[in-house]
Homo-oligomer: A and B are copies of this chain.
Amino acid sequence: MQAGGRILFITMEARASQNAGRVMDGPTNPMVTPLLTDLYQFTMAYAYWKAGKHNERAVFDLYFRKNPFGGEFTVFAGLEECIKLIANFKLTEEEVSFIHKSLPGSCEEGFLNYLREIDCSDVEVYAISEGTVVFPKVPLLRLEGPVAVVQLLETPVLNLVNFASLVTTNAARHRLVAGQSKMLFEFGLRRAQGPDGAIGASKYCYIGGFDATSNVAAGRLFGIPLRGTHSHAFVSSFMSPDEILERSLCSSDGSSTCEDFVTLVHSWLSKIQWLKSLGGIFGETNQSELAAFISYALAFPNNFLALVDTYDVIRSGVPNFCAVALALSDLGYRAVGIRLDSGDLAYLSSEARKIFHTIEKELGVPGFGKMIITASNDLNEETLDAIRKQGHEVDCFGIGTYLVTCYAQAALGCVFKLVEINNQPRIKLSEDVSKVSIPCKKRCYRLYGKEGYSLVDIMTGENEPCPKVGERILCRHPFSESQRAYVVPKRVEELLKCYWPGKSGKVREELPALKDIRDHCIKQLEQMRPDHIRRLNPTPYKVSVSAKLYDFIHFLWLNEAPVGELQ
């Protein structure tokens, strides 16, 4: 019962030996196995098998109904992990026997043999490219294959797409509000929803436009740039500079050695203390902080970045930082800057910048005014927006909790709906129109206008002709009769590509490198009309169906819906 780690390791070994020579690596998290699914997928598989229906060809669409965070766009992510799951989808003997034990009641041995055999070699996966800006109702993924197998995939695929797309979208929103010129760091590991809640967030925030993470494991797994300096505990672990025993520091070019760096720092501290233009803003600075800064600088003379808010930013942290930075400058090193982790970030960053400029000017240290100011402390879209409006001097933002847990909306509601079985289109009705599914195996296109922006997405039946550049096409709202528009596209892009061809013989779309997914996402956002992606009152993007598909939906709807009786 408590042997979670060991059970998983046994599975990992079994799976690895099974997967030797396979097309691609497994999912990043080895916990992603065919058992990472709802029990009902297996009970249904048994019922399909008993009914002889398990190999009936089914088509499922994965889509969401509403954009998150009150916005009008979403960034699709999680595809690579889905394909890795599908490429390696195979139950181990031990997993089959666990399912055997877990099914309610007994099951026939033939079903277990069936489970032993299944994989995704007969499943086809069509998907929108990872990192693409997407909209409600349009399938992000379309899975076709034997109904029992595709149902087993429903839960893990939803799990892998839902949070990935949510947190990528959240990162993109933070990037939009921070502006392109700022550096954004993801610092959420400690507050994330579990270990790979954190690792996933690091990966997907990078795709969404963040520049780096503090999460070493994510840096190693995905090659994301890493950032980090020191914490408040580091500062308070020191008492005073007296405890620093090894005080020598070689100059940057190796030509000389300063034997007592501590004394050099002290001399700079007195100099800036008496700078008239600083107006005597500080007297005695905190000595444990000074000791911590000196120690950190001795360890990283080329990368000195100090957390300056443990005691008092303006009266202690910034002066201590400046003294150490000036001493480093004497030896040919260039300090990086400061981090603020509390208080009024707009005000404190501006005050700190003034001090840096004063020092550059008064003491003639070129570039000192350009010290990098990093800010952290419970930042989110709202606070970024607020301090931007207030005016600030922050260069880099470190964002944690609100970013990685998607605090403003902790879940995206992707669903997975049957749209066709045995070539028969299926519709799922609901009293709530927004929950009615769009039936049929479909093709999806994005139509672009003359300014280069995308105008509308349109879904058509599988066999309808593709919309053509320069040709007028009627785009209809799928459920509202009155909403429709003619569009003459300047460019037509087919959205769903084949990422896992099954036995179709189609060419498999390559999974791009993480960096390329990130570039694609950034470019996608640039191609959106700004009013669709703005924070306040964004304009909804139009998602439509062809006239033919519209008619078919409504024919099917009337056919399926029970006629009500008012009493």
A residues near B (Cβ < 8 Å) are 1-9, 12, 16, 25-33, 35-44, 46-53, 56, 58, 60, 80, 84, 95, 98-99, 102, 104-105, 147, 151, 154-156, 158-160, 162-164, 167, 187, 189-200, 214-217, 219-223, 226-234, 236-239, 243-246, 286, 295-296, 298-303, 310-312, 315-316, 342-343, 401, 405-407, 409-414, 416-418, 421, 424, 426-431, 511, 513-515, 560, 562
Contacts and interface: CB of A to CB of B under 8 A. Distances in A.
Number of copies: 2
Given A12-B9, A220-B7, A232-B428, A162 B189 contact: no
Contacts of A421: 236-237
A41 B316 CA distance: 24
Contacts of A412: 191
A428 to B, nearest CB: 6
Contact of A222 (B1, B40, B417): B1
Nearest to A214: B38
A2 B514 CA distance: 7
Q: Which of A41, A200, A221, A417 has the most CB of B within 10 A?
A: A221
A46 B99 CA distance: 49
A32 B216 CA distance: 11
A411 B417 contact: no
A193 B189 contact: no
Nearest to A151: B233
Given A199-B31, A246-B52, A37 B189 contact: yes
A162 B414 CA distance: 26
B216 A44 contact: no
Q: Which of A8, A187, A244, A315 has the most CB of B within 10 A?
A: A8
A195 B30 CA distance: 9
A406 B197 CA distance: 13
Contact of A50 (B43, B95, B190, B246): B246
A222 to B, nearest CB: 6
A237 B431 CA distance: 20
27 contacts: A2-B25, A8-B28, A31-B199, A36-B216, A36-B217, A38-B228, A39-B226, A40-B214, A40-B229, A43-B299, A46-B300, A52-B245, A56-B237, A60-B233, A102-B220, A104-B300, A104-B302, A105-B302, A154-B231, A160-B194, A162-B192, A192-B193, A193-B197, A194-B197, A232-B418, A233-B416, A407-B409
Contact of A160 (B195, B222, B245, B427): B195
A28 B9 CA distance: 9
A237 B58 contact: yes
Given A47-B296, A191-B412, A194-B199, 13 more contacts: A1-B223, A2-B25, A2-B513, A3-B25, A4-B28, A38-B190, A42-B216, A44-B234, A105-B300, A154-B231, A163-B192, A194-B197, A405-B410
